[in-house]
Every structure is written in structure tokens, then in C-alpha cells.
Amino acid sequence: MHYTADINLVFNCVNHTSRDVKNEWLLRTLHANGASSFFICICLHIGRVLILINKSVIANYR
């Protein structure tokens, strides 16, 4: 299995992976959910930082 940028060959690459890798469905599911979880964690972290900065700015003006 090798990376291919050709849109016509991508389906064959995914098919090859599905046939040759044991528990490929699990690997694909974990990868998709892991990427989504990472994105959510980054967004929550940025939101928390923005809230804490806002609270400290308000506290300085009191």
C-alpha cells in the first residue's frame, strides 16, 4: 500500500487495505474517532484559554 494522489486509484488503495489488513475496520474507526476527539480537545482548550484571559482582563479593571 502506497499513498496515491490520483482520485481514480484511491478506491483501489482503500480496497487493498480492507482486504490485507486484519481488523482494518477497527483501525479506520479508531483513527476517525481519534482525529475528531483531538480536534474537540483543541477547541475546548482554546475556549478555556480565552475565558481565562477574559476573566483576568476584567479582574484587572476592577
- pLDDT, tens only, 26-62: 888 999 999 999 999 999 999 999 999 998 888 887 7
Query: For residues 24 and 21, what is the distance between their CA atoms, to the nearest angstrom?
Result: 5
Query: For residues 49 and 47, what is the distance between their CA atoms, to the nearest angstrom?
Result: 5
Residue-level pLDDT at 1: 54
Report whether 28 contacts 22 (CB < 8 A). no
